[in-house]
């Protein structure tokens, strides 16, 4: 798995790579780059263009984001949805909207 964490719809968080280990979750100009080496990639199960993430999944994501932000001193302005780095629909309309709410809270 190219991501550091995977969150199931049930809210179960699975760690696939160590924090600090280079990921394979995004590309820049058609090839892996800065973000894979300098970020934690989080993937959520589902298609958030067509569905809203379940409450358990949102709760788990918030808990994980809060923990990693505290652990590494990550400012909220440095939390990005995939489409802010790459031209893609990911993380989907509904999850991207939730992410905007998270960043404003």
What does the chain come to in residues? 105
pLDDT tens across 24-44, in order?
Answer: 777 766 666 777 788 899 999
pLDDT bin (cut points 50, 70, 90) of residue 21 is confident
Sheet (strand 42-44) strand order: 13-15, 5-7, 42-44
DSSP 8-state symbol, 84: G
CB proximity list for 62: less than 8 A, separation 6 or greater: 102
Residues 67, 61: Cα–Cα separation, whole Å: 10
**91-101 mean pLDDT:** 96
pLDDT tens-digit series, residues 38-78:
889 999 999 999 999 999 999 999 999 999 999 999 999 99
Q: What single string gives the DSSP state of each residue in 22-57?
A: ---S--BTTB--HHHHS---EEESS-TTTSPPPHHH
Is the whole-model pTM more than 0.85? yes
pLDDT given at position 29: 62
Residue 65 and residue 87: Cα distance in Å, rounded? 23
What gap in Å lies between CA 11 and CA 67, rounded to an integer?
A: 15
Domains, the chain, ordered by start: 5-104 (3.40.80.10)
């Amino acid at each position: 798995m190219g991501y550091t964490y995977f969150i199931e719809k049930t809210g179960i968080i699975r760690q696939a790579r160590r924090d600090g280990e280079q990921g394979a979750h995004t590309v820049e100009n058609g090839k892996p780059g800065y973000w894979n080496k300098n970020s934690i990639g989080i993937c959520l199960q589902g298609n958030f263009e067509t569905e809203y993430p379940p409450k358990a999944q949102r709760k788990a994501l918030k808990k994980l984001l809060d923990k990693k932000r505290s652990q590494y001193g990550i400012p909220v302005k440095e939390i990005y949805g995939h489409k802010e780095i790459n031209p893609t629909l990911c993380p989907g309309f509904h999850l991207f909207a939730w992410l905007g709410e998270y960043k404003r809270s």
